[in-house]
Every structure is written in C-alpha cells, then in structure tokens.
Amino acid sequence: MSNTIISVVIFVIGLIISTSIIYIVTRLFGDKKGIKTAFVAAIFGAIIYSIVGFILGNGFLAAIAGGIVWLLTLRALYDIGWLRAILSAIFIWIVAIVVGVLLPTTPRLL
C-alpha cells in the first residue's frame, strides 16, 4: 500500500475520531449543535495545526499559537465565551489523549 493511501486513511480515521470526540464533549457541555459543526471544528483543527506546524514547527510556541486559533474557532462555531471554549478544549484534549492511548492506531497495525 502506498504512503499516500496510508496517509489518507490515517487522516480520515483521525477526522472521524476527532469529530466524535468534539461532538460528545460539546453535547456534555450543553451545546445543541449537530455533528456537522463538530466535523467543521475537526477540519479547522487539522488545518490550523498543519499551518501553524508548517510555519512554526512542532515546538511549544506552535502548540500555544495553534491552541489559541483553535479556541477562536470553537468560540465562533459554537457561539460560546472564552471560559466555555477553554473548558471544552481541555476536555476534548483529555478525551483525545485517552482515546489515543486506548485505541490502536493504523501505523502500529502495519
């Protein structure tokens, strides 16, 4: 299987998992928006971190810059304040870490 196909499959699986996590966490915080909004948030998150990573690399500064831009995205998509955006992001990141540890990923299976 080519590296391009593997990359696309990994991206799609990651997008599905990210969308699900964002949807569940925002619902737990009382938001009524649907899965489409979570999907858009997941897409924007991937784009934001890709651009910031390309520009700033993978260091602490890149994580902070990407995190702030993603918080702005959450605020806009879900029409929420800073505190709720930060709490949502923290819970999303925690759940994503737990899921990442518990679920095997495609590269480990290859």
Condensed to tens digits (0 to 9), the pLDDT of residues 60-74 reads 888 888 889 889 999
Q: Please write the tens of the pLDDT for every residue from 44-63.
A: 988 888 888 889 888 888 88
Residue 59 gets which letter from DSSP?
Answer: S
Assess whether pLDDT exceeds 70 at residue 110: no
pLDDT tens digits along 7-26? 888 888 889 989 999 999 99
pTM, 2 dp: 0.81
The residue-averaged pLDDT of 18-35 equals 91
> What is the Rg, in whole angstroms, of the alpha carbon atoms belonging to the chain?
14
Per-residue b or e along 24-47, where b marks 16 or more CB atoms closer than 10 Å to that residue's CB? ebbeeeebeeeeebbbebbebbee
